[in-house]
Each structure stands twice: as structure tokens, then as C-alpha cells.
Structure 1
Amino acid sequence: MADFEAHIDKVGFQGDGITAGGLIVPMTLPGERVLARQGKERPELVEVIMASPERVTPPCPHFSACGGCTLQHWDLAAYSAWKHEVVVAQLRRGGLETEVLPGFTTPTHSRRRVGLHARKQGNQVQIGFKARRSWSLVPIEVCVISDPAIVASLPMLRQLAAPLFEHPKSAPVLHVTASLTGLDIDISGVERTKSGGLSADARMQIAMAAGEAGFARVTMGEDILYQVRQPMIRFGKATVSLPIGSFLQATPQAEAAMAALVSDSVAGAKKVADLFCGAGTFTFPLAETAVVYAADGAATSIAALKNAMASAPGLKTITPEVRDLFRRPMVAEEMKGFDAIVFDPPRAGAEAQAFEIARSGVAHAVAVSCNLQTFVRDAKILVNAGFSLDRVTPIDQFLWSAHVELVGVFSR
């Protein structure tokens, strides 16, 4: 198919350039004139004929092939302004008008949690990220968004992955977390062989590779393949043992920014509920000034929270509970006596919990969200019940992606 010229009008919510006629051309910026070619699913950029003054040289040599980042070619100030406008537009589309404060943008070399795919080609094992809109692997040697400890360990991670291909259909993913005590690697995507899990030889090779690399822990599901130190994380004044495969904010800087926003938003509260609390991301900072009820559906996270309470003396009382907040949300009657509710649900949002907050007499609520669509849905439940959405702060935790998170503050 012949190449064609296109003029880019704007960047859409997914981070791709869009023409005035609605044609999507990835890797392009507003005001650019480009040469494009129709691919299998959508046009692909062939050449930038007239570049935007906001176009910059991407800092990563893997950019454009690797699917991990999609917007490194955009000047950081313009890119950040676009993310701010995405939040404003999505809220407005949902009928929500509020003050959207300047956002927080996470710095480079700060991602402490990544998922590295491993593939075997002949006798060689490669690790990296998936290509854009493809299952193909892009092997990486550097990563400008990741913690330097992860990047430095890429050769050792390749050695660790080598014994994982005993089954021909295995497509391992190394979920790597940089903890205070070393790298924690949780492995998924390994198919079971006829004899069951990994062979004794494979397990020994993994343990040897992990030992030589100085990793803290290697797990596969609930199976601990190697551990020399417990991976530890700091939440406020508490030092927390990281449960296997547990949720953790992607960067410590974004986590600190969100924790400060949450704590500031409930300043003066004497009793706070922290719902979907995980292992205590916000619980411990909140407990510096308020009594906290902390609930989450993950038993391992609550156990880690409980165990960490002794590491942070001087806090107010924390009452943890394992609770499926989707099936058994904290109901309005239980909220009597609470000054504020904080909730940080997964991408599915917290619809059932939002209805209970709406029914309650609680005066303040703070929502931390990783999904604009479900945030809008849940926020409308609160607003329709008499809450005001006072302000929203965008959090750009996944640098150079189209993903944006936020902290929303509500009051009666």
C-alpha cells in the first residue's frame, strides 16, 4: 500500500497522534506533518516531514521498538501538560468539574518494579520487554526508567532465566522488585512438565545464579526457590516485609507524593479508615496522627502490616483486618465515628465501597486511583450523594506512558 501524508492535530488519550479526521498515527506529535503507511491494524509512522518544536531525541536506545515507553520523543514539559489535560478532559467528560492541581512526575531511573519477559532463541536466553502491540520480545541492555540496581542485574537475570525453559511452551516473566535489602524476583509463565514443577537441577541452577548475583529472594508462586534475606520496604516509619507477589507502588517517589497528599488531605482527623490498604502504604503515615482501621483482601499483606507495627513505635492504634471489600465493603453503619475514609482500589475501582461511603455521614474521603474511568464512576456516586470533589492531583508514576494516576479529595 502506498505511503501517504498526514497532519497531526493532537495526541489522544492512548498517547498516539491523531489527525483532524480521526486517523491514528503512533509516535507523532501535534502540528507535525508525517509520512505514514497503513499497517495490519493501523497506520505506522514512516518519516517525520515537518517535526514539532516539542519533539526531542529519545533518551533510550530501545525506544520505538520497545513497548515499555511510548512518549520519550515528547518534550517533558509539553508531555506533562498533556497528561494534566487528559485528567481534566476525562473528568469533564464524566460531568465532574473541579480544580486539577499541577501533577507529580516521577523521575528517570526510579522504577523499582518491572516485569521482564524471557525468551530462548537457540541456546541463548534474552530478557526484555514486549514490542509495541506485539508478543515479540525486544531484548534490552539499558532502561532509563528503571532503578539502576535492576539495570545492573540484567546479565544475572538472564542467567537466572536460563533454567526456566524445561517445557517448550514456557514464556517466563521475571517480576523484579528493588527492595531495601536487594532484588526480589517472582517468576510466572513457566509451564509444568510431566513430572510437575521445575526439576531439581533447574532449581539448583536458579539458586546458584541468585546466590552469585546477590539477590534477596526468588519465588515462583508460593514456592521459594532461593532466599538469603527477606525483601524489606519502608512505609512511613515502619519497615515492612514484602509478601511474595504483593502489590507495591512502582516508584518510591510517587508513593511518597501520594502518601503526603493523602495525609495532608485528612489533617486533623482523629480516626481514619484505610481501605484497600495493602501492606500499609498509607496506613503507617496516617497512623502518625490518627487512629487507623486498615482493611485489604490480601491476607499476606495484612500479615505483613501486622508484623511491621512493632517496627514503628509511637504510632496511634492500627486495627488491621483481612476483608474482601468488593464482596463485603465497609458499610455506612461501621463508619460512624470515623472522620475520613481513604480508599486505594485496584483498576476495577470501588463501586460497592463508594456507595457505602455515600450512605455514611463521613465528612471527608480521599480516593487514590490508577484508572481514570473507574475513578469517574466512583466519584460520581459520592458527588451525587452530596460530596464535593474539591481537587484532584495527577500522578505520573509510569513515565513516558499514556497511563496516569490521581489522588482525589472529597468533602461534604
Structure 2
Amino acid sequence: MRTSRRPNRARPADVATSPAVEVVIEAVGGEGDGIAAGPLYAPFTLPGERVRLAAGGQRRELEAVLEASPQRVTPPCQHFGVCGGCALQHWEHGAYLEWKVDRLVRTLARERIETQVLPAFAAAPASRRRLSLHARPGRKDAARLGFKGRKSWDVIDIAECPIADPRLEAALPALRRLAVPLFEHSKSAPTLHVTLTDTGIDVDISGVERKSGGLSADARMRLAEIAGEADFARVTLDGEIAYLARQPTVRMGQATVALPAGGFLQAVPEAELAMANMAVEAAAGAERIADLFCGAGAFTFHLAKLAPVLAVDSSAPAIRSLIGALGTAPGLHGVVAEARDLTRRPVLAAELKRIDTVLFDPPRAGAYEQCVEIASSKVSRVIGVSCNPATFVRDARLLADAGFTLDRLLPVDQFLWSPHIELVAVFNR
């Protein structure tokens, strides 16, 4: 007779199954948590530290640092440890940056890729020009506004943000007032995507409940009044203009670009310039260039000083902004711009036959479909820009198998005190 047995069920890793414990942290993992034997994972710990961890499973909370690392520093933000925005403010900057670069090199090594790694670009505090701030109901005249808390959907109402440009930090009280009219419907959970532009602060709001008709006329009027009082440049609701005092613009190379509502922009201007300078140096001598996933032209306007550029992006508003800015940039060799989904419709190898240099700067999912076409083309030089090393190494392996050599790579740390790192890489064949 066959007997039935209850199947074994693994316990969730974070259920409290073991008592508090003292451990030595051996390394820092990919999410910024310290790792001890077991393995056990704990936030806000550093290699070599002896710490006491709370009861739990594999992932524990830090109860006390018993022997601190000499690399431990005082976090600059009063919200650190509660706010979920930063993970590594407690780590001395040089060691923290070395850890980020080492992780990048290890990611490349998994695909057997070696290259010259240049000294990393490191963004400074108070340099970030865009923030995504969550809003929740608060006082009658000011919403709660900030980032989600650690392991929580709750919003930490921030009083400061040391990564942000001081002009964004100074705008927090006005942004709290701006969020108040957004809560007509109980299901609204607004996010204010705030960008500092050359002509003022631009705010694109998402997460306002729309099934019930969206904001009333009274709420829209109040939104515009508060924006005017704060002297914001523009406020949009999912791209729809709710208030416009002046067009938000940014400089890209020598061009003045009208920023699309909710459009993508590199987080730190100095990081964008460092990446553009790397691309220009790598593209020297090019005869025809393709700038793929070009956005509104962060690289296009620099590269077009060297040679004619084919600029392609899936965002039609970004392409319109790029085309509209061409007349503001003197000395360009010519730009042809096209709105096109490069995942579903990559630029084919046959279309690249007159192109000798390609730059791609895709979203986090990478550029695999486009790299298939580049690999089978006659392109001799590729400049890869990536915000996700994991998808970059997949695409780099494809190029390497097609005869490209990864000559050099610039790590870019523009998301300060996070585990996130970006890069610019130069391939030749």
C-alpha cells in the first residue's frame, strides 16, 4: 500500500528560526549587505567587523557593532538606516568605490572578459539633478514626501538628502505643498519625478488615480497655483501639462534641448559629461556614427561634432526634442534621427553598412537584439554604455564572439552610496 507523505517545505529565509548571534563579516554582497559564514546577511556592516545580529534566518538585522572596521565612517544623512534610498553611507569612500569596481570586474570575469579598467568616475555629494519622491497624505497644507523605507512600503518624510543638488533639497517644502491636491481619491499614491533643469524645476507626477476621472478642475487649479508660487518651470500629470511657466531645457554638448515631460535624463550632469567625453575620445576618426538608444541626444550632439550621426530611440518625444535642438548647436556634421523600438526592430546589419562606429546606451534590459545585428555587420568600433553590468556582459560576450575586443572600460558611479554602478566600454575589431 502506498502511503502519502506531506511534502517537505523549505522555510522562508527571513523567518526567525535561530537566536541572536555574534559573527565576523567576511565580505559585502551585491546588494550592499555584509556576509558572514552560514551564509548570514546583514545591512550596514563592513568586512572584518565583529557584530551581533538579531534572531532570524539568513537575513538578519544588525543589533550592534562590537568591533568596528577602520573603514567605518559616520553617515552624513540623518535618515540613513531608515530611508531605503542609500545602503552604504557608513563606508569610507575609497574602499566603497574599490568594492564597486571589483564587483564590475568580477561580473566581466564570469564571461571570461578581461580589459583595461580606467580610474572610476565618482559623483560627488549634492550633485544629483533628479529625484523620484513618493507622496502620502500628511498635514492639511503639506504631504509626507520622501523615499520608501527599508523593507517597507511606508514613506520616510525626508528633511534632507545629501545626494541631491541643494536646489532640489531647498524645494522640498514647496513639493510637499504641491502634493496636497493629489489626494482627492483614496487610491492615489503619487510619485513626483523632479528634475532640476537650466530653466527651473520640472515635475512629472505619476500614480494619481485616474479611473474616477483624475483630478478635478479645482485640484488642478490649486496645483497650478502652488507651482506658480514656488516658481517651478513646469508640472505635468503623466506627461500632460498641468502648469507651464517656461520650457524646461538642458544643455547637451552645445545644444539647448527642450526636455520632454517625464523624459530620461542622466542623474548627474558631471557623470553625463564624463561619459560623453569618453565616447568622443573613443570615436575619434569615425566617418559615420550610429547613436542607438540615443534619448534626447546626450551623446548625439557630442558625436556629431566628429562625423554624421544616425540617432535612434524608441521615445518619439525624445526624438522630437533632439530634432528641435539641432538648430541650437553650431558645427554639427549632420544628424538623422528616427523613433524606432530597437528591441522589436533593431537597426539591421544591412542598414549599418555605411556605419563604422556604433554607440549604444540601452535600458537595464540591455541591447541583445541590437548587438546581434552589430555582430553580423561590418562595424569596426562599438562604444557600449550600460546601467546594468549583468546585461552588459551578456551583450559583450556576443560582440567578443564576433571578433570584437573590449579595449578599455570606464566605471561610472553616479548613484552615490548605492550598490549600483554604470560603465562606458570601448570595443574594436
Superposition TM-score, scaled by structure 2 size: 0.94
Is 1:140 paired with 2:158? yes
Shift, 1:222, TM fit: 3.0
Shift, 1:122, TM fit: 6.1
Shift, 1:40, TM fit: 7.8
Shift, 1:121, TM fit: 3.8
Identify the match of residue 390 of structure 1 among 395, 407, 412.
407
For 1:288-299, list aligned pairs within 5 A: 288-299=305-316
Distance across 2 between alignment mates of 1:68 and 1:392: 27
Distance across 2 between alignment mates of 1:38 and 1:257: 45
Shift, 1:295, TM fit: 0.5
Q: Deviations over 1:248-270 (max 9, x none)?
A: 10010110010011111111112
The amino acid across from 1:220 in the alignment is L
Distance across 1 between alignment mates of 2:191 and 2:40: 34
Structure 1 unaligned residues grouped into runs of 5+: none
Task: Tell me what 1:26 maps to.
Answer: 43
Task: Tell me what 2:272 maps to.
Answer: 255
Shift, 1:319, TM fit: 0.6
The amino acid across from 2:321 in the alignment is A
Identify the match of residue 208 of structure 2 among 176, 190, 199.
190
For 1:361-400, list aligned pairs within 5 A: 361-400=378-417
Task: Tell me what 1:225 maps to.
Answer: 242
- Answer whether contact 1:167 1:193 (CA < 8 A) is retained: no
Identify the match of residue 66 of structure 1 among 65, 70, 83.
83
Distance across 1 between alignment mates of 2:144 and 2:186: 15
Task: Tell me what 2:339 maps to.
Answer: 322
Distance across 2 between alignment mates of 1:40 and 1:143: 32
The amino acid across from 1:145 in the alignment is I
Distance 1:10 1:41, change over 3 A: closer
Q: How many residues align?
A: 411
The amino acid across from 2:61 in the alignment is E
Identify the match of residue 344 of structure 1 among 338, 361, 370.
361
The amino acid across from 1:158 in the alignment is R
Is 1:207 paired with 2:224? yes
Identify the match of residue 119 of structure 1 among 128, 133, 136.
136
Superposition TM-score, scaled by structure 1 size: 0.98
Distance across 2 between alignment mates of 1:264 and 1:132: 41
Distance across 1 between alignment mates of 2:193 and 2:23: 40
Structure 2 unaligned residues grouped into runs of 5+: 1-15
Q: Deviations over 1:160-211 (max 9, x none)?
A: 00010011111110000000000000001111263x1101111111101000
What is the SS of the residue equivalent to 1:43? coil
- Answer whether contact 1:84 1:102 (CA < 8 A) is retained: no
Task: Tell me what 2:9 maps to.
Answer: none
Shift, 1:14, TM fit: 1.2
Identify the match of residue 277 of structure 1 among 262, 285, 294.
294
The amino acid across from 1:157 in the alignment is L
What is the SS of the residue equivalent to 1:285? helix
- Answer whether contact 2:39 2:58 (CA < 8 A) is retained: no
Is 1:42 paired with 2:59? yes
Task: Tell me what 1:105 maps to.
Answer: 122
- Answer whether contact 2:52 2:65 (CA < 8 A) is retained: yes
Shift, 1:94, TM fit: 2.1
Task: Tell me what 2:4 maps to.
Answer: none
Task: Tell me what 1:51 maps to.
Answer: 68
Distance across 2 between alignment mates of 1:38 and 1:281: 49
CA RMSD of aligned residues (A): 1.2
Return structure 1 stretches of 4+ with deviation > 6 angstroms.
none
Identify the match of residue 357 of structure 1 among 333, 353, 374.
374
Task: Tell me what 1:170 maps to.
Answer: 188
- Answer whether contact 2:82 2:149 (CA < 8 A) is retained: yes
Shift, 1:391, TM fit: 1.4
